[in-house]
Structure 1
Amino acid sequence: GETEGALVTEAPKKVGSLSYSASGMTKAGVASASWTSTVLAGALPQLGVSFETSPLGADTEVTGPVALVLWAASTTEDMDIFATIRNIDPDGKDVFEQGQQGQPVPVAKGWLRASHRRQDPALSLPYRPYHAHVEREWLKAGEPVQVEVEIWPTSMVFKKGHRIRLDIQPRDGVGSAPYTHYCADYNTGTNTIFTGGGRASYLLLPVIPKK
């Protein structure tokens, strides 16, 4: 699918933003962006926003924990965040790995409901937010907040010419089966991701230097 933004090593100087709807459902009546709904309902429009690097100039190893730091807002009191890191080959196709049950999976995933963004400072690390989950801190419509999402650790060599892609979606993304989330109170409305300036969202990747 198409991407709306670029993954770059330096934040833009000016604040920008990208908005997307979190309200879509499929004709099958399940979460719009889930792998399962794609099987049930056929090809679906992409939900959320995606960011992608330029083609990599050399093989690039990413090994360790990953964190996504977002400045985000919603028109509603909460926001579901599903993050997926993908390995895209020169032909624009996903390079999948094999999951625990033999299913094709992307590089790594993470998810968080924005109202659970409060962290435990004693247990959190710069590269691994640890969320307290003791109370919900509701959003105020249109007011940006910082949300740190833990993405599961990975070890992957992205080949020269490949691209690293980040999807931010309101539902499960590509390669979620058999662990798709089904929740009766998925949040809806319009979500906004901010970029650059004093509200620079970023993806913290553990890139291993070449010897």
Structure 2
Amino acid sequence: MAAGETKAMVTPAATSYDYPDPDWSHFSGLGTAVMEDGVPNPVRKILTFTSEPLPDDVEVIGSIVLNLWASSDQTDTDFFVRLTDQLPDGEQVPGMPPRARMLTRGWLKASHACTKDEAKSLPYRPYYRHDSPKPIEPDKIYKFEIEVWATACCFLKGHRIRVDLACYDSNAFDFGGHYYGLKVGRDTVYHDKDHPSHIVLPVIPPR
């Protein structure tokens, strides 16, 4: 990968991305955000997975987990997850970043996935001891269970449920951001029938 160049590859089975992206705002304090016409865009150069407009209200209350199948060409990487409520298409402003509100977040360092304590874990809450991390094998596919902090939200009819995923976050949109601009590599997220990456939401049945 040449200096100042980034590559992304998307297939029906997987999505790969190189980092750092040259368009990221780096040490300006915006991290993975991209400046567009003087406005920071938090999702222009990260992975996002967005639902269709919801046909009905969806109420979510409780703990959340992202089951992520992924690999890296490095011996370690990081996953930063945001669950976002994206406003209806009719409330979006052309040429501006998608209007949305971040609801909750989750994190996992790949080398710490091996420290999961099965006895203390719950279906929606994997428990990691973080006591004996081990490097991952480059280009090997792993299943990562990423806890996303509990939340309570009603996604209204016409809104979209969006999951943002990156190897860093942004001080502009994430309190206490973790962007240092030092990592170089390529990560791949898998989303085929053999590696069905998905987020598990605690949906409350309609009353």
- Report the TM-score when normalising by structure 1: 0.78
Q: Which residue of 1 aligns with 2:3?
A: none
Shift in Å, 1:141:
1.5
Distance, in Å, in 1 between the alignment partners of 2:67 and 2:61 is 18
**2:32 matches 1:33:** yes
| Counterpart position of 1:126 | 123
Residue 147 of structure 1 pairs with residue 144 of structure 2 = yes
Query: Is 2:193 the counterpart of 1:197?
Result: yes
Residue among 58, 61, 70 paired with 1:60: 58
Specify the alignment match of 2:107 in structure 1.
Answer: 111
Mapped to 2, the partners of 1:124 and 1:28 lie a distance apart of 37
Q: How many pairs align?
A: 185
Name the residue aligned to 2:156: 159
Q: Post-superposition shift, 1:67?
A: 0.3
In structure 1, distance between residues paired with 2:60 and 2:79: 22
Matched-pair contact (CA < 8 Å) for 1:78–1:187: no
What letter matches 1:32 in structure 2?
A: G
Q: Which residue in the other structure is 2:203 paired with? A: 207
CA RMSD of aligned residues (A): 2.6
Moved more, 49-58 or 186-195: 186-195
Give CA deviations for 1:112-170 in whole Å, capped at 9, x if unaligned. Answer: 11111121111111111111211122122211011111100000001100000001101
Question: What is the CA-CA distance between 1:29 and the residue it aligns to?
Answer: 5.8
Change (3 A) 1:108 1:63: same
Structure 1 position 169 matched with structure 2 position 166: yes
Contact 2:51 2:160 in 1 (8 A): yes
SS in structure 2 opposite 1:115?
helix
C-alpha distance in 1 between matches for 2:190 and 2:201: 19
Is the contact made by 1:67 and 1:204 (CA closer than 8 Å) also made in structure 2? yes
Inter-partner Cα distance in structure 1 for 2:189 and 2:17: 9
- 8 Å contact from structure 2 (residues 75, 138) kept in 1: yes
List per-residue Cα deviations over 1:48-106 (Å, max 9, x = no partner).
3110110000111011000001110011111110001111111344343xxxxxxxxx1
Give the structure with the higher percent strand.
Answer: 2
Decide whether the 8 Å contact of 2:168 with 2:179 is kept in 1: no
C-alpha distance after superposition, 1:156-188 (max 9, x if no partner): 0011000000011011156203x212458x532
What amino acid is the match of 2:75?
A: E
Is there any run of 5+ residues in structure 1 with no aligned partner, and where?
A: 6-14, 97-105
Which residue of structure 2 lines up, in the alignment, with residue 9 of structure 1? none
Q: Percent identity?
A: 32
Report the 3-state secondary structure (helix = DSSP H, G, I; strand = E; otherwise coil) of the residue aligned with 1:116.
helix
TM-score (norm 2): 0.79
